[in-house]
């Protein structure tokens, strides 16, 4: 009992640690990949091949002066980045990232890899990510600067709009799996069809997957939907007035949100930790590979596709993406009814 508790505590700490690492590594990965796409090296001076660059970045940000504009709202200006980062970390708590394991016989009963197994896990993740918008909106409002305010306004409108498509696309998978628990959704994807094709929801819900990914990019405010910070129009949007640690928390929250989004996509559509060649004990390797692939796609898209115009974003979200996701949901429901009846 005692040992089990310690192991679970260890898993929670490990998840937290890996999320922090993920955000640091993603900064480096982004700059490296961007560099190679633009036929240059990216950072390479600090450490071998620039591997220690994130560390240097962190030290630089910690050493910088904390600035707060005179007209800014004292409390909300500090609260906003905290809200952002808290929501980002908390959302991952409901994401399982590996099969049940006994740690090679260390424990008598298998323990599941992941912070918490919640029976309405999908909804919990959705609820917590929807709280993330407050960080950005409050940052925009409390800075008392017009660029920040525009960034905040854009963020609230954009995230509300795309949340709908996001949730509707996700409901298709819930219908197929018949459960709101992410672990059950993943375990429903074990095995293969005809011995070759893995039973991933991706192949049953291709449209849903595409909608999910597009809405996910918009939810995390990444290019081509990075309107809340659109450098060319709004200086830096909601984080124009921020500096030092308070500034650092926003990009960190963004990278952690990306990781969560990719992890949820992996669990819902790509079969989570199920894959060939590896025993379930090592399933988390598959999980990491799949999340990595999606994150690479994220960065790839950012440095390939130019930013939309804001009205185009709203038009696309409401007139194309949302109807498509509704049609997808209705078609899925009809097919599930037909084949299960």
Partner 1 sequence: MPETLTFYALSGLAIGASALVIGQRNPMYSVLMLIASFGALAGLYIQLDAPFVAVAQIIIYAGAIMVLFLFVVMLLNAPQEDAAEWDRSHPLRPPVVARFGGMLALLLVVQLAWALLRAGGLGGPVAGLGDADVVSSVRELGRVLFTDYVFAFEATSILILVAMVGAVVLARREGD
Radius of gyration of the chain (CA): 21
Among 22, 85, 99, 157, binds partner 1 (CB under 8 A): 157
Q: How far apart are CA 217 and CA 88, in angstroms?
A: 15
Sketch the per residue contact string, 179 through 208, with partner 1: x for CB under 8 A, - otherwise.
Answer: -x----------------------------
- Contact between 304 and partner 1 by CB under 8 A: the answer reads no
Among 78, 112, 156, 244, binds partner 1 (CB under 8 A): 156
Q: How far apart are CA 269 and CA 262, in angstroms?
A: 10
CB 169 within 8 A of CB 324: no
Q: Which residue has the tokens 């620039």?
A: 50
User: DSSP secondary-structure letter at 320?
Assistant: I
Among 90, 99, 137, 321, binds partner 1 (CB under 8 A): 137
Q: How far is the CB of 179 from partner 1 (least distance, A)?
A: 9
Residues in the chain: 341
- Contact between 149 and partner 1 by CB under 8 A: the answer reads yes
- Contact between 314 and partner 1 by CB under 8 A: the answer reads no
Among 123, 190, 245, 314, binds partner 1 (CB under 8 A): 123
The pair of structure tokens assigned to 319 is 């007139």
Tell me the DSSP string of 100-151.
EE-TTTTSSS-EEEES---TTHHHHHHHHHHHHHHHHHHHHHHTT-HHHHHH
Q: How far is the CB of 305 from partner 1 (least distance, A)?
A: 27
- Contact between 133 and partner 1 by CB under 8 A: the answer reads yes
Q: 109: exposed, middle or buried (C-beta count within 10 Å: 0-12, 13-18, 19+)?
A: exposed
CB 100 within 8 A of CB 155: no
- Contact between 336 and partner 1 by CB under 8 A: the answer reads no
Sign of the alpha-carbon torsion through 9, 12, 14, 20: negative
Among 107, 153, 235, 285, binds partner 1 (CB under 8 A): 153
- Contact between 86 and partner 1 by CB under 8 A: the answer reads no
Q: How far is the CB of 119 from partner 1 (least distance, A)?
A: 7
- Contact between 120 and partner 1 by CB under 8 A: the answer reads yes
Binding segment (CB under 8 A) for partner 1, from list 121-129, 242-250, 254-262, 297-305 = 121-129
> Residues near 179 by Cβ (< 8 Å), separated by ≥ 6?
185, 188
Q: How far is the CB of 3 from partner 1 (least distance, A)?
A: 24
Return the SS3 of 96: strand
Among 33, 34, 76, 82, binds partner 1 (CB under 8 A): 76
Return the SS3 of 98: strand
Binding segment (CB under 8 A) for partner 1, from list 21-29, 98-106, 118-126, 311-319 = 118-126
Q: How far is the CB of 274 from partner 1 (least distance, A)?
A: 25
CB 61 within 8 A of CB 244: yes
Among 152, 172, 208, 275, binds partner 1 (CB under 8 A): 152
Binding site for partner 1 (CB under 8 A): 73, 76, 119-120, 123-124, 126-128, 130-131, 133-134, 137-138, 140-141, 149, 152-153, 156-157, 159-160, 163, 180
């Amino acid at each position: 009992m005692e040992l089990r508790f310690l192991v679970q505590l260890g898993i929670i700490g490990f998840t937290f640690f890996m999320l922090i690492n993920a955000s640091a590594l993603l900064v480096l990965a982004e700059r490296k990949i961007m560099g190679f796409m633009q036929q240059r090296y990216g950072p390479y001076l600090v450490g071998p091949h620039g591997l220690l660059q994130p560390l240097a970045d962190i030290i630089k940000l910690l050493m910088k002066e904390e600035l707060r504009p005179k007209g800014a709202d004292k409390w909300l200006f500090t609260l906003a980045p905290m809200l952002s980062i808290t929501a980002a970390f908390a959302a991952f708590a409901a994401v399982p990232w590996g099969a049940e394991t006994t740690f090679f016989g260390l424990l008598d009963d298998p323990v599941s890899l992941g912070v918490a197994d919640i029976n309405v896990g999908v909804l919990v993740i959705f609820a917590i990510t929807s709280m993330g918008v407050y960080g950005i909106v409050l940052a925009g409002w409390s800075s008392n600067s017009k660029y920040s305010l525009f960034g905040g306004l854009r963020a609230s409108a954009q995230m509300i709009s795309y949340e709908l498509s996001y949730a509707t696309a996700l409901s298709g998978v819930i219908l197929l799996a018949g459960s709101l628990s992410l672990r059950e959704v993943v375990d429903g994807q074990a095995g293969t069809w005809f011995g070759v094709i893995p039973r991933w929801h991706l192949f049953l819900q291709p449209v849903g997957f595409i909608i999910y990914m597009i809405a996910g990019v918009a939810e995390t405010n990444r290019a081509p939907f990075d309107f809340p910070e659109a450098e060319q129009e709004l200086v830096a949007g909601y984080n124009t007035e921020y500096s030092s640690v308070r500034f650092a928390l926003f990009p960190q929250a963004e990278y952690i949100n990306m990781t969560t989004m990719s992890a949820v996509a992996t669990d819902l559509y790509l079969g989570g930790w199920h894959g060939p060649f590896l025993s379930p004990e090592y399933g988390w390797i598959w999980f990491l590979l799949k999340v990595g692939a999606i994150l690479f796609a994220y960065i790839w898209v950012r440095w390939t596709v130019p930013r939309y115009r804001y009205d185009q974003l709203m038009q696309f979200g409401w007139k194309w993406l949302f109807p498509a996701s509704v049609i997808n949901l209705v078609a899925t429901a009809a097919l599930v009814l037909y084949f299960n009846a």
